[in-house]
């Protein structure tokens, strides 16, 4: 079985910048590009290897940073994505920032302050497990900020990401698109499986009760913040394996697209004294 090309995967899952976006037209159980699970796992393994090679190159050249933003409802698979897509990447060249409810000090600043602080430096892949997009998701749905303030944020975020992108940070954003039914199954697993119990938070059910509001907020977020310089990819997330395979393919494409080459300082053995 041949792998779907990177182009195919990108085109199927991207939210095209500047276009209207309808989340209901996307199937969270979509298996078209990866019909076979075993094959998807093989694709992932290969791509994870290439991602690792390119991460080394990124580290060696110290010219660019890559920022991977991951958003999704509870149980959509943010941690699982990080674990699997970067399974072969050394932790030495990565940073992972999991954004939680802001602290008092963070709240005393504008909402992008803590985000800017966590942007990866050159040479690194930085992963955001949740991100500044919470400020137009949960904050919007629960009314933690006035609607006029939230309304301004889409443009502010686009400008912020443009600034980063003009300064050497390649940004790729993944919305893990999980179905309502699949979330129910996964939340129940968190109660019944001993190794998952610690992950269950009864408050997750409150978010689940507001599912349509969250979906609307996700839709707005994707439509208004998928840009040429920081596109949103909406990844079907009901199947963990296919989710990982799709993200790895896209990320591999992004890394290869940086066009980095191994630095050669031009040293020769005979220039040095090894006695």
Quick check: 92 binds a second copy (CB under 8 A)?
yes
Quick check: 6 binds a second copy (CB under 8 A)?
no
Question: Rule CB under 8 A: which of 124-183 touch a second copy?
Answer: 127, 129
Among 96, 118, 215, 258, binds a second copy (CB under 8 A): 96
Quick check: 94 binds a second copy (CB under 8 A)?
yes
Quick check: 18 binds a second copy (CB under 8 A)?
no
Smallest distance, a second copy to C-beta of residue 159, A: 29
For a second copy, the closer of residues 59 and 154 by Cβ is 59
Smallest distance, a second copy to C-beta of residue 264, A: 6
**Residue 94 backbone dihedrals phi, psi, to 5 degrees:** -130, 150
Q: Three-state secondary structure along the chain?
A: CCCCCHHHHHHHHECCCCCCCCHHHCCCCCCCCCCCHHHHHHHHHHHHHHHHHHHHHHHHHCCCEEEEEEEECCCCCHHHHHHHHCCCCCHHHEEEEECCCCCHHHHCCCCCHHHHHCCCCCCCEEEEECCHHHHHCHHHHCCCCCHHHHHHHHHHHHHHHHHHHHCCEEEEEEEEECCHHHHHHHHHHHHHCCCCHHHCCCCHHHHHHCHHHHHHHHHHHHHHHCCCCCCEEEEECCCHHHHHHHHHHHHHHHHHHCCCCCCCCCCCHHHCCCC
Distance, CA of 249 to CA of 44 (rounded, Å): 7
Quick check: 105 binds a second copy (CB under 8 A)?
no
Among 187, 225, 230, 251, binds a second copy (CB under 8 A): 187
Smallest distance, a second copy to C-beta of residue 194, A: 5
Contacts of residue 94, Cβ cutoff 8 Å, sequence gap at least 6: 55, 86, 124, 125, 126, 127
How many residues belong to the site for a second copy (CB under 8 A)? 42
Smallest distance, a second copy to C-beta of residue 79, A: 6
Quick check: 265 binds a second copy (CB under 8 A)?
yes
Smallest distance, a second copy to C-beta of residue 191, A: 5
Smallest distance, a second copy to C-beta of residue 41, A: 16
What is the strand order of the sheet 65-72 is part of?
A: 94-98, 125-129, 65-72, 169-177, 232-236
Quick check: 50 binds a second copy (CB under 8 A)?
no
Quick check: 47 binds a second copy (CB under 8 A)?
no
- Among 230, 275, 237, 242, which Cα is nearest to 69's? 230
Smallest distance, a second copy to C-beta of residue 95, A: 8
Question: Rule CB under 8 A: which of 208-247 touch a second copy?
Answer: 208
Among 13, 21, 34, 86, binds a second copy (CB under 8 A): 86
Smallest distance, a second copy to C-beta of residue 65, A: 15
Quick check: 192 binds a second copy (CB under 8 A)?
yes
Please report, as ranges, the residues that interact with a second copy according to CB under 8 A. 56, 60-61, 79, 82-83, 86-92, 94, 96, 98, 127, 129, 184, 187-188, 191-192, 194-195, 197-200, 202, 205, 208, 262-265, 267-269, 272-274
């Amino acid at each position: 079985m041949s792998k779907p090309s990177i182009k195919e995967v990108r085109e199927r899952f991207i939210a095209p910048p500047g276009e209207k976006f309808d989340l209901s037209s996307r199937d969270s159980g979509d298996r078209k590009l990866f019909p076979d699970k075993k094959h998807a796992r093989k694709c992932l393994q290969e791509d994870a290897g290439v991602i690792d090679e390119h991460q080394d190159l990124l580290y060696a050249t110290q010219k660019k940073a890559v920022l991977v933003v991951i958003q999704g409802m509870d149980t959509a698979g943010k941690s699982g994505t990080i674990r699997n897509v970067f399974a072969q990447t050394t932790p030495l060249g990565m940073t992972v920032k999991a954004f939680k409810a802001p602290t008092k000090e963070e709240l005393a600043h504008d909402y992008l302050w803590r985000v800017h602080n966590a942007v990866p430096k050159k040479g690194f892949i930085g992963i955001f497990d949740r991100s500044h997009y919470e400020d137009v998701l949960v904050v919007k749905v629960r009314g933690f900020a006035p609607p006029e303030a939230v309304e301004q944020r889409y443009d502010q975020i686009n400008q912020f990401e443009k600034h980063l992108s003009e300064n050497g940070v390649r940004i790729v954003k993944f919305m893990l698109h999980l179905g309502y039914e699949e979330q129910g199954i996964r939340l129940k697993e968190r109660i019944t499986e001993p190794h998952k119990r610690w992950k269950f938070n009864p408050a997750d059910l409150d978010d689940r009760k507001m599912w349509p509001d969250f979906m609307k907020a996700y839709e707005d977020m994707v439509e208004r913040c998928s840009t040429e310089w920081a596109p949103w990819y909406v990844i079907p997330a009901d199947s963990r394996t296919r989710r990982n395979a799709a993200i790895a393919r896209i990320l591999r494409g992004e890394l290869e697209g940086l066009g980095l080459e191994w630095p050669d300082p031009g040293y020769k053995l005979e220039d040095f004294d090894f006695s």
